[in-house]
Amino acid sequence: MLKKLAFTTALTFAAFTLQAQAQEPRRGGTIRFTAPYGASFVSNDSHVSNQIQDEIYGYALHGMLYKWDAKNGKPVLDIAESVQVSADGKTYTYKLRDNALFHNGRKLTSDDVIWSYTRIMDGAKNYPGARYVARIVGATDVQKGQAKEISGLKKIDDSSFSMTLTDKADPGYFLFQAQTAILPAKEAQQPGFFDKPIGLGPFKFVEHVPGSRMAFERWDKYYLAGKPYADKLVISPMGEAAARDVAFRNKEVDVSILGSTQYVAYKADPNLSKGILEVAEVFTRNMGMNPTFKPFSDKRVRQAINYAIDSDLIIKRLVRDKAYRAASWLPLSSPAFDKDAKPYAFDPDKAKKLLVEAGYPDGFEFEWTATPNESWGVPIVEATIPMLAKVGIKVKVKPVETSALGGVVVGGDFQAYIWSNTSGPDSLTALKCFHSSTPRSSCNYTTFKNPAYDKLIDDASNEADAAKQLDLLKKANAMLQEEAPVWFFNYNKAVMAYQPWLHGLQPNATELALQRYEELWIDTTSPAAK
Amino acid sequence: MLPYVFRRLLQAIPILLAVAALIFVMFSVIPGNFATSQMADGRSNIDAATIARMNEQFGLNDPLPLRFAKYVGGLATFDLGDSFRTRQPVTALIGERLWPSLQLALAAMAFAIVIGVPLGFFAALKPGSWVDMLSMVFAVSGLSLPMFWLGLLLMYAFALTLNWFPSFGYGNGDPRYIVLPAIALGVSPLALLARTSRAAVLEILHADFVRTARAKGASSYRVMRWHVARNALVIVLTTLGLQFGSVLGQAVVVEKLFAWPGLGSLLVDSVTWRDIPAVQGCILTIVLFFLVVNIAVDVLCAVVDPRIKYS
């Protein structure tokens, strides 16, 4: 089944890529994008916001040290032209692009990079990007007010600098987000800078009408020659799926992220179905089980829950196939995903047998914390109740608001919860969340502890050979499936509808709504082609 | 009159304080806060130290009475604090959003008045006729229709099918953008105004002074213009004030649906992310607007009907 899914996904990517390559990009026109995760953008300052909504405009306005290569599923250099890595894999020396200019025409220098990262670590401001920059040596000292400069960042000259990390890791995986945008150091400290911010991105800021739109125009001196293609870019925050649907059908916007209801309707429509892009995003929907609740401390009980729930049926009926069945933690788009791995089968008899072996022949009752989310919340929990009841497990639903779930889980105040958690793009970082040294407050929400698993992760962390590291990660992922700290429900299938005149969309598994706008172009059939 | 207005404005202060206190208490009782809400989408793992730092930064570790006292102190100088999300002063955020909200409220009320009041008058003049029946069916429907659903219907009909108006957005001063959200927001007050006008006119038509005027040979126009309309207007004005005052609060749904950049969409996002200063600022602005509009309506009533005296 998973093989088939992976094959279909790969085929979709390939077809999509071929289609995009078939035509020569055209310059001009306005791209009309939507930001679907709220009614507004938070701020003109990309360092301030923790929300993906703001990343959507950040990719137009800013340059980061890295950018995500969606087609190859890995980070690549953005504002730097080359990097050298030290033998211990901890120090990275970057050479910045000579032709990277801010929107006021000033050339990017290493001072701008160092200042931007130092700003992000301002402990008094608690910028969300601090969790990424914190992996640079000395960054947390700045955050704590114990230093004014990040000791791990050294300026070599105006166009090169070195960066030393606290541990061996590929910084590309955590320095491509707009929360780590490189700002012009001197200009950004001037009053009023963020009223009309400038950056290094493919588009220049024109205006922000809060709650309505953000408009940009092409930056002619962008460092990738000939790009971007479009003259203008307008991004409208549209949190309401139904409103996006009307606007898309009315050809007022070029793209729309689809929910499960619209996904079904669009797939059934002969015209709309031609413009659908599907990606297995790096999110794993799961039910985390707290081992301090006695039944969940037993692996057999956790496995029994995985066997007792008919996940395929729920995905088909409730999620309307807008998800891929999860086998273990790492998603389909992860290089360490084992395409031969089979998910837990729906087998209530086996579940019952495991419960008997674990000493729960009559089952037990547990409290399941869930938000109202339609894809990974109360509706899903309600669907599992009769399935679990058949093996003797009773569920008491504990509803919480979406914004409160994080606090409940981090505080350990649950027996079980259902959530959608990031499981990539870096497989090692994702799997480290189950290392016993990772606290619950970081991401080991189920306080998973297994010495054999720890060893696999430690070995993978220290492994220089990429192929061997991948093999270790696959083994760790398989061990997670066996240990079942969670009910592996599904991997999110992100779906974007696009108009026939829009080209160059990228199947970004980190978040489909995040597009490299410099790659997008519209043909003459667009209503905004001129 | 001026002392009355001044007294009413003073009376608004305890109301605003009570609203502020209520929001404070509500947000301290419900689970979750700004720091934990940042993890809601499952992307961000915010460690305990960061949560503690954020709580400290935003003063969330202080006891509730102290936080409230600080907030009230700020209110005295029109300082609504800084938004947790945007790190900008809440007054600036509200300033950006107030005019679009007022535009929408004014357009919605204009639509409601222009159609609702004449509709009620005509229905009352011919009670039991098909005009009366039709107008009341329209009024009851308008009151019953969920605003969100009506908004979607309008989008499908006038944007998607007929292509007369854009389906969303603020535009660049193009009045076509406000039409659909204003109708969606205005239908409910329109219906209420129609019903109120009808009831008021019907009641006054049977009053003794109207019969006397007719007996004295006054023309129908004169009776309607000077005796019926003027007296009915006081009742209509009162309803209008209540509706106009509350339309800003009701706009939350419509603004979000039509991506209209008003206070409503700011409020929705602020509640989602537990941005308490922004929520308080928005709600206090809406409450203040309601109070000011109703004071203005009271003054207008006295102008329309000289029998009304405020001492």
pTM, two decimals, is 0.90
| Exposed / middle / buried, residue B64 (Cβ in 10 Å: 0-12, 13-18, 19+) | middle
Q: Which residue of B has its CA nearest to A439?
A: B47
178-237 in B: which are within 8 Å (CB) of A? none
What is the number of CB-based contacts under 8 A between chain A and chain B? 173
Rounded Cα distance, B103 and B290, in Å: 15
Whether A427 has its CB under 8 Å from any CB of chain B: the answer is no
- Find, among A530, A520, A518, the residue nearest to A61 by Cα: A518
Whether A49 has its CB under 8 Å from any CB of chain B: the answer is yes
Percent above pLDDT 90 for chain B: 43
Q: Which 3 state secondary structure label does DSSP give B260?
A: coil
CA distances from A94 to A109, A157, A485 (A): 11, 11, 40
Whole-number pLDDT of residue B176: 95
- Find, among A44, A40, A42, the residue nearest to A192 by Cα: A44
Q: CB atoms < 10 A from the CB of A262, how many?
A: 21
Whether A145 has its CB under 8 Å from any CB of chain B: the answer is no
Omega within 30 of 0 (cis) for the link into A425 = yes
Q: What DSSP character marks residue A107? A: B
Rounded Cα distance, B50 and A127, in Å: 10
Strand A203-209 relative to strand A393-399, pairing: unpaired
Whether B260 has its CB under 8 Å from any CB of chain A: the answer is yes
Q: Which 3 state secondary structure label does DSSP give A421?
A: strand
Strand A232-237 relative to strand A213-218, pairing: antiparallel
What phi and psi values does residue A494 have, to the nearest 5 degrees?
-80, 140
Q: In one letter, which amino acid is B270?
A: S
Residue B179 Cα, gap to closest chain A Cα (Å): 16
Whether A527 has its CB under 8 Å from any CB of chain B: the answer is no
Q: What DSSP character marks residue A208? A: E
464-503 in A: which are within 8 Å (CB) of B? none
Cβ contact, residue pair B168, A125, below 8 Å? no
Q: Which residue of B has its CA nearest to A46?
A: B86
User: Which of A128-142, A307-321, B72-86, B219-233 has the lowest average pLDDT?
Assistant: B219-233
Cβ contact, residue pair A210, B258, below 8 Å? no
Rounded Cα distance, A358 and A215, in Å: 60
Read off the pLDDT of each residue in B101-122 and give the average, rounded to a whole number. Answer: 94
Given B39, B156, B255, which is nearest A246 (Cβ)? B156
Residue corresponding to tokens 């050479």: A95
Q: Which residue of B has its CA nearest to A144?
A: B53
DSSP H helices in chain B: 2-29, 34-37, 48-57, 64-76, 90-125, 130-144, 147-154, 176-205, 208-215, 220-222, 229-257, 263-272, 276-304
Residue B234 Cα, gap to closest chain A Cα (Å): 37
Q: Residue B44 above 80 pLDDT?
A: no
* Predicted confidence band of residue B12 (pLDDT cuts 50, 70, 90): confident
Whether A195 has its CB under 8 Å from any CB of chain B: the answer is no
Whole-number pLDDT of residue A2: 46
pLDDT for B250-309, tens place per residue?
A: 898 999 899 999 998 899 889 888 899 999 999 999 999 998 888 888 888 888 777 777
Whole-number pLDDT of residue A1: 47
- Find, among B38, B52, B54, B45, the residue nearest to A131 by Cα: B45
Question: pLDDT (tens digit, 0 to 9) for every residue of chain A, 530 residues total?
Answer: 445 545 445 445 545 554 544 579 999 999 999 999 988 999 999 999 988 999 999 999 999 999 999 999 999 999 999 999 999 999 999 999 999 999 999 999 999 999 999 999 999 998 999 999 999 999 999 999 999 999 999 999 999 999 999 998 899 999 999 999 999 999 999 999 999 999 999 999 999 999 899 999 999 999 999 999 999 999 999 999 999 999 999 999 999 999 998 999 999 999 999 999 999 999 999 999 999 999 999 999 999 999 999 999 999 999 999 999 999 999 999 999 999 999 999 999 999 999 999 999 999 999 999 999 999 999 999 999 999 999 999 999 999 988 889 889 988 999 999 999 999 899 999 999 999 999 998 899 999 999 999 999 999 999 989 999 999 999 999 999 999 999 999 999 999 999 999 999 999 999 999 999 999 999 999 999 98
Q: For the CA atoms of A237, A238, A244, A250, what is the dihedral angle to 10 degrees?
A: -50
DSSP H helices in A298-341: 299-308, 311-317
Cite the beta strand spans of A90-138 per DSSP E.
91-96
ipTM of the assembly? 0.86
Given B36, B44, B273, which is nearest A407 (Cβ)? B36
Element (H, E) at A431: helix A427-432
Q: Contacts of residue B167 in chain A, CB cutoff 8 Å?
A: 243, 246-247, 250, 252
Q: Tell me the two tokens of residue A221.
A: 């001196």
Q: Contacts of residue B61 in chain A, CB cutoff 8 Å?
A: none
What phi and psi values does residue A338 have, to the nearest 5 degrees?
-90, 110
Cβ contact, residue pair A211, B155, below 8 Å? no
Q: Which 3 state secondary structure label does DSSP give A418?
A: strand
Interface test with A, best of B30, B34, B38, B46 (most A CBs within 10 A): B46
* Predicted confidence band of residue B311 (pLDDT cuts 50, 70, 90): low
60-99 in A: which are within 8 Å (CB) of B? none
Whole-number pLDDT of residue B31: 77
Cite the beta strand spans of A345-451 per DSSP E.
364-370, 393-399, 416-422
Cβ contact, residue pair B160, A250, below 8 Å? yes
Contact between residue A53 and residue A38 where contact means Cβ atoms under 8 Å apart: yes
Rounded Cα distance, A354 and B302, in Å: 80
Rounded Cα distance, B164 and B146, in Å: 23
CA distances from A315 to A273, A333, A528 (A): 20, 19, 38
230-289 in A: which are within 8 Å (CB) of B? 236-240, 242-243, 246-247, 249-250, 252, 283
Rounded Cα distance, A468 and A60, in Å: 37
Q: Contacts of residue B30 in chain A, CB cutoff 8 Å?
A: 401, 404
Element (H, E) at A104: none
Residue A528 Cα, gap to closest chain B Cα (Å): 14
Q: Which 3 state secondary structure label does DSSP give A216?
A: strand
Q: Helix crossing, B130-144 with B90-125: angle to 10°?
A: 160
What phi and psi values does residue A433 have, to the nearest 5 degrees?
-60, -20
